[in-house]
Structure 1
């Protein structure tokens, strides 16, 4: 039998296309509702039944779009990661490579984190829920975090190659310290309600840059600060 002998599928008609588009829109709306619910009760708390109640749909209607609770949870993690990249990673790519880009990535990360102090971070809450529970959901969470960490490490390496960081800087160690600031910020601000936690996290990042930065990178910043002070005196 040749390819020409095989029965051809009828072309997709306008009605089929509209039905597919509507199905995709419905699924996107369900994922959006699930993401909002997950920030309150965690990824582990998500279920077909809970989501059906929130969206006003039937359980069978929600199930038809995902097929399982596990697939629903993974879809939420993927959507969270996509939004994280849109808000944190991609805007920073317009900054010059090196230290400016690394600073932009951290600034965007801090901006998103400051919002999530009220709603919660799925990466952090998910790590608590699934740290000792192997499976596809944990894999999806870990893969998303690892992807972001690789992007941060790449930014650190580029800053080192541009001469903005010392030649002996270990990108793994520097990332560990930067990530630690975000984790500490969540703990201090969300759990302990410590005032000034955001400012301390920002100061911690500046301390890291001073410790790992080169004199060549520090001098332009010092000159900018001096020019600003001179201008303010004249005014």
Structure 2
């Protein structure tokens, strides 16, 4: 990686950290210059405007989200095992963001009624993630893991709703047990829509508990 690319990557990493705590609206060339110990003109050379910086942060967040959540989960067996993996990794992602924040969620609050390139970038990234979940649900139906009349959009809505509730209760309300309730919500959703074959495949794909150590002979 060339020096200019390394510098830009370092600035973007710092910007992502700022945005996670202060929101996209908290980002500015000046604030980023202070954090990175660079001049404003040095930061500006890599991001020509505050808007360009915000969009770059949205894209960087999405790339990290994909790497951590999506690309690991799609290695799992198609059907309910993969859908479970997507949800579980999403939950884990939220759990580590409790003290910082999810840019998807905070960005939706900041830009829900503010049309423009930053809102467009946020919507595009969230839609990309929804499309991945939608495909996983469709595959689960096609494999017979979900009932033939299961409403794909409804399942997607319910899973996303669980994550929004988790983020609200864990981050804003600081409610104990929020993670467990989110996972319980997923189990209820699965049981409601799954077929017997789907539940069997899902159970078979789960890691088996380690066997208890053999007792030493007296």
TM over 0.5: yes
Q: CA RMSD in A?
A: 2.1
2:146 matched residue in structure 1:
165
Q: Secondary structure at the match of 2:187?
A: helix
1:83 matched residue in structure 2:
64
Task: Give TM-score scaled by structure 1 length.
Answer: 0.85
Look at both structures and tell me which one has the larger radius of gyration over its CA atoms. 1
Q: Secondary structure at the match of 1:164?
A: coil
Contact 2:79 2:198 in 1 (8 A): no
Give unmatched runs, 5+ long, in structure 2.
Answer: none
Change beyond 3 A, Cα 1:223–1:186: closer
Matched, 1:206 2:191: no
1:222 Cα deviation (Å)?
6.9
Matched, 1:106 2:87: yes
Change beyond 3 A, Cα 1:100–1:224: closer
Change beyond 3 A, Cα 1:52–1:112: same
More helix by share: 1
Listed one character per residue, the Cα deviations across residues 64-100 of structure 1 (whole Å, up to 9, x for unaligned) are 0011110000000000000000000000111111111
Moved over 3 A (4+): 219-225
The number of residue pairs the alignment matches comes to: 212
Task: Give TM-score scaled by structure 2 length.
Answer: 0.92
Give unmatched runs, 5+ long, in structure 1.
Answer: 1-19
1:218 Cα deviation (Å)?
2.5
Q: Pick which of 214-223 and 111-120 moved more.
A: 214-223
Alignment of 1:48-87 (within 5 A): 48-87=29-68
Matched, 1:34 2:12: no
Structure 2 Cα separation of the partners of residues 224 and 86 of structure 1: 22
Structure 2 Cα separation of the partners of residues 222 and 81 of structure 1: 31
Change beyond 3 A, Cα 1:219–1:79: closer
Structure 2 Cα separation of the partners of residues 200 and 143 of structure 1: 29
2:115 aligned to which of 125, 134, 148? 134
Structure 2 Cα separation of the partners of residues 152 and 124 of structure 1: 17
Matched, 1:25 2:6: yes
